[in-house]
Structure 1
Amino acid sequence: MLNESRRRAYLTAMQVVSWVPRTELPFAAPSRPELLVLPEPPLAPEVIKPSAKPVVAPSKPAERPKIEVPRPSVTPRPASKPVVQAESAPAAVKATPIAPPRFALQLLRAGRCLVLVELPTGGAFQSRDPAYLLLKDMLRAAGLPDSPQIIGEPVRWPLLRRGTVDQGPQAAREFVQGFVMARLEEAECACLWLIGLPAVRFAANVDAEAFNTELEIEGLGCAWALPGLELLMDEPHRKADVWQAMRKLLARWKQNDE
């Protein structure tokens, strides 16, 4: 509760000159009676009708002094505006980011052929790896050196683990093709072997339907698409199709060896 002196100090700070409480306030000074007297409504003005004879207007009674009764000011609340629900704008369709492909490729040279082969485990070939032994058998059957020369480090994609650089399929395709094209300029190549789906997809821009077929790739020349080494080990019946396709291409690199 506020005593009278503190209440008046608050009212003075708020620049309130006079006020009337709604209920009796404890510890308040007694109200002044003259502030509670309501003013009388003003008298309606008399309408004097014109007449033939001059009429002496009666003298007006003396007006009583008006006493202004201060009333608490009430700030009117703004009228509530109807809530207009905005039409929901069509949400912008965000392009779903494409996850970067994951693969590891190794480029080898065997005679006058380059071999871009998928690394089944992601690591470099070891001399006793079953996949590497199968590759040696395929090169031997093709009449090429069965100890291919490793060219450069494996191409592992994505290149960066983090960052905002585009590492989608198109970027991977451009990188692989540029990498192989740079090696083709260093030495002559009669045929480019593409072993495994990642090698076929990102060097020749085709899919598994192109396995065991000869391709002509702009900038890379003649290429041969083959299934991956692990796929050939898991499905040995595919080796017959590889051998049939190889027989049609033997003349290409053998003519260059003569």
Structure 2
Amino acid sequence: MLTEPRRRAYLSAMQVVHWLPRAELPFAAPSRAELLLPQTPPEAPLPVVEDAAAIAPAARPEAPTVRPAPRAKIDIPRPASLAKPAPAVLDSPEKPSEPRAQRVAPPRFALQLLRAGNCLLLVELATGQPFQSRDPSYLLLKDMLRAAGLPDAPQIVGEPVRWPMFTRGNMDQGPDAAREFLQAFVQARLEDSPSVCLWLVGLPAIRFAGQGDEHSYYQLLQVDSLGAAWALPGLELLMDEPQRKADVWKAMRQLMARWKPAQ
């Protein structure tokens, strides 16, 4: 938007003396009406002569026609309200391309399957390494089994399940693929040796084998093809937050009848 002083400076630089805008300009000084009237040169007075012959009309040569100099064309910016809208661009009749499905990053976890009595345990390996006999987390697991009335020396079933399985290639290893594989793996072990209750220890085990989350802690889940599953916090979390052990013990007393033989 040009202000009046800057507009006059531009016109002076272009040697434009008189000009008339095509539309009302914002911040412009009011136009002077006398500049808009056509200017005609004043007529010269007739000379006074004594001779009558001089008074006789004489042929006067026609004055040459003087045309005004062409006015310089000035590009004046139009206000936004008077600007012509740009022509609409019609979309091509091509068929819109379908959005590509974005591949979800694969989850990362390591789980160990164990058997204690008539129960299977799917336990999260926080470090990714198999249990050692003197690991604090393994000693805590033995204490939990002893409190539940189960053998405190669980048998390891197979190698740990580590996800993602492949570091290269285009194979889908997202959450859905991890869930399908893990459930199929546990189901195959259950077919070999049935279990009255599946312990899911740790959030990855709950999420990908039991289709639950952290809100499922201490609850008994019914999982298709896997049966009853008890969701528990991870061993590392129980060691970091010992107050959770009270909730584990409370839920254990309600479920203990499932795996303990009748007295």
TM-score relative to the length of structure 1: 0.64
For residues 240 and 254 of structure 1, the distance between their equivalents in structure 2, rounded to whole angstroms, comes to 20
For residues 168 and 150 of structure 1, the distance between their equivalents in structure 2, rounded to whole angstroms, comes to 27
Match of residue 189, structure 1, among 195, 208, 226: 195
Matches of residues 1-258 of structure 1 in structure 2 within 5 Å?
93-255=99-261
Q: C-alpha offsets along residues 156-202 of structure 1, whole Å, 9 cap, x if unaligned?
A: 00010010111000000000000000000111211000000000000
3-state DSSP class of the match of 1:137? Answer: helix
2:135 is matched by which residue type in structure 1? Answer: D
3-state DSSP class of the match of 2:205? Answer: helix
3-state DSSP class of the match of 2:192? Answer: coil
Give 5+ residue unaligned stretches, structure 1. Answer: 1-83
Deviation (angstroms), 1:95: 3.3
3-state DSSP class of the match of 1:185? Answer: helix
Deviation (angstroms), 1:92: 6.2
2:220 is matched by which residue type in structure 1? Answer: E
For residues 253 and 226 of structure 1, the distance between their equivalents in structure 2, rounded to whole angstroms, comes to 16
For residues 154 and 143 of structure 2, the distance between their equivalents in structure 1, rounded to whole angstroms, comes to 12
**Cα RMSD (Å):** 1.9
For residues 94 and 220 of structure 1, the distance between their equivalents in structure 2, rounded to whole angstroms, comes to 34
Q: C-alpha offsets along residues 131-155 of structure 1, whole Å, 9 cap, x if unaligned?
A: 1011000000000000000000000
Deviation (angstroms), 1:216: 1.0
Q: Percent identity?
A: 67
For residues 140 and 133 of structure 1, the distance between their equivalents in structure 2, rounded to whole angstroms, comes to 11
Q: C-alpha offsets along residues 46-94 of structure 1, whole Å, 9 cap, x if unaligned?
A: xxxxxxxxxxxxxxxxxxxxxxxxxxxxxxxxxxxxxx98869988644
For residues 234 and 218 of structure 2, the distance between their equivalents in structure 1, rounded to whole angstroms, comes to 11
TM-score relative to the length of structure 2: 0.63
